[in-house]
Amino acid sequence: MSVEAQRHDVRDPVGGRTVPAWRRAARIGMERIDGWFDAAYGTGANPLRQLGALGWFFYWIVVASGVYVYIFYDSGVTQAYESIEYMTNVQWYAAGIMRSLHRYASDALVAVMLTHLVREFLYDKYRGVRWFGWFTGVAIIWFVYASGITGYWVVWDKLAQYVAVQTSELLDALGLFGEPIARNFLHDTTLSGRFFTLLVFIHIAVPLILLFLLWLHTQRLAHARVNPPRALALGTLAMLLVVSLAHPATSQGPANLAQVPAVVGLDWFYLALYPLFDRIPLPGVWALLGGMTLLLALTPWLPRRREREAARVDLANCNGCTRCFLDCPYSAITMAPRTDGRPFEQQALVDPSLCIACGICAGACPTATPYRRRSEMVAGIELPAQPVADIREQAVARCAALTGDTRILVIGCEFGPDTARVLGPGVASLTLPCVGALPPPFIDFLLARGHADGVLLTGCRPGACQARLGIQWTEQRIAGRRDPGLRGRVPRERLATCWSGAGGSDALAAEIAAFRTRLEALGRMPRGAGLRKAEATDA
């Protein structure tokens, strides 16, 4: 196969789904930003790769600090402000710091939440069967803002008065209440301690509902990260403490319903839309909020895309080993009692509504070995769009077309670097839905059979795998820390990896050049090295 013939194959992803140019450009832009943060923090502690875990971390800081602040809070009309002032000015070393932590962790929660939303959109991790995470995320946005806004009410300073009046007028515009809520803020005498007790109850109840939504948000993710790395967590907490000491949260003077606050300092993380309430009719504000919410909620289906067929189980080859179940990034596989009478306890079941067709399950299947000779090559679980037999056929065909003394097969994913830009004499490529879809025995097969002198695996950047765990599982399989592990007989010097992402074609080209130099020093891979033992084991 010529280089020009390969170019069409490589950039036509498996199953006919293509990546639009603008989305690929957005992905490359995000990867560049990730690279800057990697350089500053290291890949493992890059906050952009830990946004979900950081959101959980900030939530727990808000809860812990809120509990402490509540101990000293008095819900009376005048006592509310006085108790907050006591914490800020008298017990500043404890309650004051906790109040500031409560405030800044809440702001940080909004920041990571919105950044997480933008990042998932640009990386295209919200459409198809992943709609659930996005959809529940939209609900989380509403409850985070509801929790933060009610938190400003309980301080009962001038800002709280402004927020209370504006919010109550906005709620009254819905016409759902028997009497206007705003009437409670006509005069100080119309308020009572019971109102603040109710407000505190709401401020506590909303975060509890939010906790349930956060739990629900991660239910379709296997191995979900809810705790950031220790170094990042400690560094973030230290940063919040420094900010709390250097610029403690303070009140803006006691509320006075007889006067309209002339100037208030807004928290732009939570109150950015409030200046619009005086400039847009309130029904228009609700139309704007409703329209934004509806647009966000429907984004996974705008536009609708064709999805690949979900992974399929072949019971004749499934031995119930649970490897696919353990490796699936989206909990799409469950284990159930056998239904075919074979002498195994379990069988794998695939839920098509959860499967993203990444193929990681096929990469984990022990029956997905290219050495099979005594039966048709069908794995216990595989993708209908690219069964393992086709992977073997395509890999062998690509290698057979190679010329030169050093032959390299580059195996990557559709979201990784554009391998068409690095093809040339002695270099061929094979594109999979995810590099984790490659069963490790294929590397053994290609080298032992002498089809290639070296195999190079490439794909997304670390921490940004489109299938979440493809790179992680692949590296663990190569190192022998995860089944199926790459066998020790495989010469590791003939295997290379390059996780450079969609914008990493130049880095891939450089890695291929360096890899070629190392292989030239080793010479050609002798055909049949370790082959008899491999075939005797895997046939």
| pLDDT, tens only, 118-168 | 999 999 999 999 999 999 999 999 999 999 999 999 999 999 999 999 999
Residues with Cβ within 8 Å of 393's Cβ and at least 6 positions away in sequence, in order, are: none
Whether residue 270 lies inside any domain: the answer is: yes
Instruction: Decide if pLDDT at 8 tops 50.
Output: no
Q: Residue 528's pLDDT is what?
A: 56
Are residue 282 and residue 323 in the same domain, yes or no? no
Q: Residue 419's pLDDT is what?
A: 87
Band of residue 18 on the pLDDT scale cut at 50, 70, 90:
low
Q: Residue 531's pLDDT is what?
A: 47
Read off the pTM. 0.90
Q: Are 407 and 393 in contact (CB under 8 A)?
A: no
Residue 43 belongs to a domain with what CATH number?
1.20.810.10
pLDDT in tens, 464-497: 899 999 999 999 999 999 999 999 999 999 999 9
Average pLDDT, the chain: 89
Closest CA to 136 of 25, 52, 240: 52
Whether residue 193 lies inside any domain: the answer is: yes
The bridge status of strand 408-413 relative to strand 427-432 is: parallel
The total number of structural domains in the chain stands at 2
Are residue 362 and residue 279 in the same domain, yes or no? no
SS3 91: coil
Whether residue 11 lies inside any domain: the answer is: no
Domain range enclosing 442:
312-538
Identify the helix (H) or strand (E) that includes residue 428.
strand 427-432
Give the rounded percent of residues in the chain with a pLDDT score beyond 70. Answer: 94
Domain edge (last residue) among 301, 325, 359: 301
The arithmetic mean of pLDDT across residues 415-433, rounded, is 91
Q: Residue 182's pLDDT is what?
A: 79
Whether residue 166 lies inside any domain: the answer is: yes
Burial of 527 (0-12, 13-18, 19+ CB in 10 A): exposed
Residue 265, token pair as written in the block: 């300092």
Buried b (16+ CB within 10 A) or exposed e, 137-157: bbbbbebbbbbbbbbbbbbbb
DSSP for 449-464, please give it.
TTS-SEEEEE-SPTT-
Q: Residue 536's pLDDT is what?
A: 45
Range with the lowest mean pLDDT among 14-18, 246-250, 474-478, 525-529? 14-18
Closest CA to 18 of 124, 91, 103: 124
Domain edge (last residue) among 249, 271, 301: 301
Residue 176, token pair as written in the block: 């759902």
Instruction: Decide if pLDDT at 535 tops 70.
Output: no
Domain edge (last residue) among 301, 326, 361: 301
Q: Are 244 and 104 in contact (CB under 8 A)?
A: yes
Q: Residue 527's pLDDT is what?
A: 63
